[in-house]
A and B are shown apart, each in its own frame.
Chain A
Amino acid sequence: MARTRPRLGVFKFSSCDGCQLSLLDCELELLAVTEAVEIAYFLEATRKDMKGPFDITLVEGSVTTPHEAELIHKVRKSTGTLITIGACATSGGIQALKNFKDVKDFIDKVYAHPEYIETLATATPIADHVTVDFELRGCPINKHQLLEVINATLNGRKPVVPKHSECIECKSRGTVCVMVAKGEACLGPVTQAGCGGLCPASHRGCFGCFGPMETPNTAALSERLKALGSAPRDIHRLFQTFNANAPAFRQQAESLEDRV
């Protein structure tokens, strides 16, 4: 009899599809992954609609509708290890910008018939709704980190995913600091590593795709950015983008609000 492979489910909530595409973007490793796990549910890739339970589930996207708020509980019940992937799933994502505004006003701006639209007032991370076993950050996630998390989970070990700041990645690849050398506004000192230090290597400041690092000193960074000439409004915008609803970034943006 054939060996039974662990069953993998991939679910999408409110998102751009980019993080689940990261799995299909593992061009060199994809066929090996499909040999290690049985892809039991992955709508972007297959019309096979197999029912749970799943051994490992990847969840992309944030909870923004009443339907999603119910669905996530069903997904949790049908899965062993639940891994959330990307900024939407781990902090709410870009659409969490609506958390700070009147959502009715947003609906009125975009849609002619607001009565057709079902949406919650907030976009929230999956962990606000159910127990999550591992959160993989990034907007988008780093596909090598994704393979590491799948590999570690299959082998019953803890994934090696650093929680230190983006600065460490710049130092290790030898990138000249854009904040020190050119006075550019950069979120790197408070942002978790993971992308590989891409923005500073492209001569621009980090804009926080991987969310806050462990114990980030966001207040000190704000002061430094101000000293370098950033207007409070620009600092506010910097914290309030792709991980606007992550507590450390949210609080820092709030503390700047009276000066915006």
Chain B
Amino acid sequence: MSATANRIIKVDALARVEGEGSLYVKVKGDEIKEVKFGIFEPPRFFEAFLVGRSYAEVPDITARICGICPIAYEMGAIQAMENAFGITVPQPIRALRRLIYCGEWIESHALHVYMLHAPDFLGLPDAIQLAKANRPLVEKALRLKKIGNDILEVIGGGRAIHPVNMRVGGFYRTPRKKEVQALIPDLEWAIEASLETIQVVGGFSFPALEQDYTFVALRHENEYAIHEGRLISNRGMNIGLEQFLDHFDEEHVKHSNALHGFMKEGKAPYKTGPLARYNLNYDKLSERARQAAKAVGLGAKVTNPFKSIVVRAVEILQVCEDALAICRSYQEPSEPYGAVPVKAGVGYGCTEAPRGICFHRYEIEADGSVKTARIMPPTAQNQKIIESDLWKVVAANLNLPDEDLKWRCEQAIRNYDPCISCATHFLKLTIERD
């Protein structure tokens, strides 16, 4: 190819991501002209049809934004309503909420690490081929994933996708002690399986890429933050949820049906998700999780996005330990839910979905119906930083043939476990070489 010919790399429909996305890269000689990570998932207009619905219906409706992380959408909405009505839930309810969220992390992370991302590091098209090469490993992965789903079913009222048991003020039904304790033996096994997962994925080879990211994550004094906390960054930001929109915004770009999030200061991209959490909350990981990370070469700082797969594995261990501790000390709450003093107001909710922070803000009318709704899913927030990673990945790999470059780009996108269904409220790869 001549030095001035256009080189176009296109992926029309990205695989092993949740939802529909695309990538378009245009290269002229050694110069990258354009990188567009697009989301062509059709818009579904959640913020519009939430208007006029009762506050009590909102968690069940927002769950339908995403079948992979419904807890993130239910809990964010619930907490926003509780914030608007001035409700603080008692400790046993709080513990049950963390437990069900641990279940979603185990299920989603195990799915992503083994079924969606590991095949990239092994040069395989999918986990089915991985099962042919190493069936016991895939069986173990599936059992781990199932344990996450089992937690979701026990606490969530019988199903893992769109669980029915969470409500504003608590739960509809209190899970019985023996149902929760029945999870203990599997979680003990899951801790061993997660230690093995860290070793397996920690042994992969990782493409070189370091970025000076702005990380944003929830931070909690007493735990590895998942469902509560303040929002902090590695650049000194430390804010309450009600200040989120003073610091962050999103814009509508032509190549994507998902809005692109950015930090207002300097209109800069930022990164949310496993790497952000790990770097900002390393001190809150358990001693065993830090040791297991150290054993595969991960210290307190990780800035190679391809190592996110190892960080996800470390997080699986962390939440298996947390879930086990909650199950062991579980006492049934005296009431499944408390009173809900409905009043007009504004409420904010933000939790760490498996792929990053998921922000909710609602204005509620005096009769409890929704006046306005705003939801910022993690993948929408990560879109700009994904494009920034892709610029670097393409620049570092221009010598690769198109097919290999395309795969490397896809792998870089999957570092984010993009949940495109969420982001649209979000992919296709096109590489064009001049």
The answer to whether B43 touches A111 (Cβ under 8 A) is yes
Complex-state Cα separation, A114 to B116, whole angstroms: 33
Residue in contact with A28 in the complex, picked from B20, B43, B142, B160, CB distance below 8 Å: B142
Q: Chain A nearest CB: distance from B422 CB in Å? A: 8
The answer to whether B111 touches A64 (Cβ under 8 A) is no
The answer to whether B42 touches A19 (Cβ under 8 A) is no
Interface hub of B17, B19, B44, B67 (most chain A Cβ within 10 A):
B44
Known: A17-B67, A34-B131, A65-B42. A27 touches B143 (CB 8 A): yes
The answer to whether B161 touches A14 (Cβ under 8 A) is no
Known: A47-B15, A119-B42. A202 touches B172 (CB 8 A): yes
Known: A17-B68, A237-B54. A46 touches B49 (CB 8 A): no
Q: Chain A nearest CB: distance from B171 CB in Å? A: 8
Q: How many residues of A contact B (CB 8 A)?
A: 64
Q: CB-CB contacts of A73-106 with B at 8 A, as 1s and 0s?
A: 0000000000000000000011101100101011
Verify if B47 is at the interface (C-beta below 8 Å from A). Answer: yes
Residue in contact with A106 in the complex, picked from B49, B70, B149, B157, CB distance below 8 Å: B49
Residue in contact with A18 in the complex, picked from B68, B142, B252, CB distance below 8 Å: B68
Q: Chain A nearest CB: distance from B76 CB in Å? A: 15
Q: CB-CB contacts of B118-143 with A at 8 A, as 1s and 0s?
A: 01000001111001000100110011
Contacts of A45-82 to chain B: CB distance below 8 A:
45-49, 64-65, 68
Q: Chain A nearest CB: distance from B180 CB in Å? A: 15
Contacts of B37-69 to chain A: CB distance below 8 A:
41-49, 51, 53-54, 57, 60-61, 64-68
Stretch at the interface among A159-167, A192-200, A246-254: A192-200
Verify if A43 is at the interface (C-beta below 8 Å from B). Answer: yes
Verify if B158 is at the interface (C-beta below 8 Å from A). Answer: yes
Q: Chain A nearest CB: distance from B212 CB in Å? A: 29
The answer to whether B44 touches A14 (Cβ under 8 A) is yes
* In the complex, chain A residues whose CB is within 8 Å of the CB of B172: 199, 202-204
Q: Chain A nearest CB: distance from B264 CB in Å? A: 15
Contacts of B376-434 to chain A: CB distance below 8 A:
407, 410, 419, 421, 425
Residue in contact with B16 in the complex, picked from A27, A47, A98, A203, CB distance below 8 Å: A47
* In the complex, chain A residues whose CB is within 8 Å of the CB of B165: 202
B interface, by DSSP: helix, strand, loop or mixed? loop
The answer to whether B47 touches A16 (Cβ under 8 A) is no
Q: How many residues of B contact A (CB 8 A)?
A: 69
Verify if A137 is at the interface (C-beta below 8 Å from B). Answer: no
Verify if B254 is at the interface (C-beta below 8 Å from A). Answer: yes
The answer to whether B66 touches A16 (Cβ under 8 A) is yes
Complex-state Cα separation, A140 to B158, whole angstroms: 12
Verify if A245 is at the interface (C-beta below 8 Å from B). Answer: no
The answer to whether A48 touches B159 (Cβ under 8 A) is no
The answer to whether A47 touches B421 (Cβ under 8 A) is no
Complex-state Cα separation, A25 to B143, whole angstroms: 10
Complex-state Cα separation, A97 to B299, whole angstroms: 49
Q: CB-CB contacts of B328-340 with A at 8 A, as 1s and 0s?
A: 0000000010000
Complex-state Cα separation, A109 to B41, whole angstroms: 18
Q: Chain A nearest CB: distance from B312 CB in Å? A: 17
Residue of A whose beta carbon sits closest to that of B175: A202
The answer to whether B161 touches A18 (Cβ under 8 A) is yes
* In the complex, chain B residues whose CB is within 8 Å of the CB of A259: none
The answer to whether A199 touches B131 (Cβ under 8 A) is no
Q: CB-CB contacts of A134-152 with B at 8 A, as 1s and 0s?
A: 0000011010000000000
Complex-state Cα separation, A72 to B145, whole angstroms: 32
Q: Chain B nearest CB: distance from A238 CB in Å? A: 9
Q: CB-CB contacts of A1-31 with B at 8 A, as 1s and 0s?
A: 0000000000011111111111011011011
Known: A30-B142, A101-B49. A198 touches B42 (CB 8 A): no
Verify if A180 is at the interface (C-beta below 8 Å from B). Answer: no
19 of the cross-chain contacts (CB-CB < 8 Å) are A15-B67, A15-B421, A18-B162, A20-B67, A24-B115, A44-B16, A45-B115, A94-B44, A101-B48, A105-B48, A106-B48, A110-B425, A117-B43, A198-B158, A199-B172, A202-B164, A204-B164, A204-B173, A237-B57
Q: 4 tightest CB-CB pairs across the interface, nearest first? A: A18-B67, A46-B126, A47-B15, A202-B157
Binding site for B on A (CB under 8 A): 12-22, 24-25, 27-28, 30-31, 34, 39, 43-49, 64-65, 68, 93-95, 97-98, 101, 103, 105-107, 109-113, 116-117, 119, 139-140, 142, 195-196, 198-199, 201-204, 207, 209, 234, 237, 241-242
Besides A18-B161, A198-B158, 9 more A-B contacts (Cβ < 8 Å) are: A12-B20, A27-B145, A34-B128, A43-B17, A45-B15, A46-B128, A64-B42, A94-B44, A139-B64
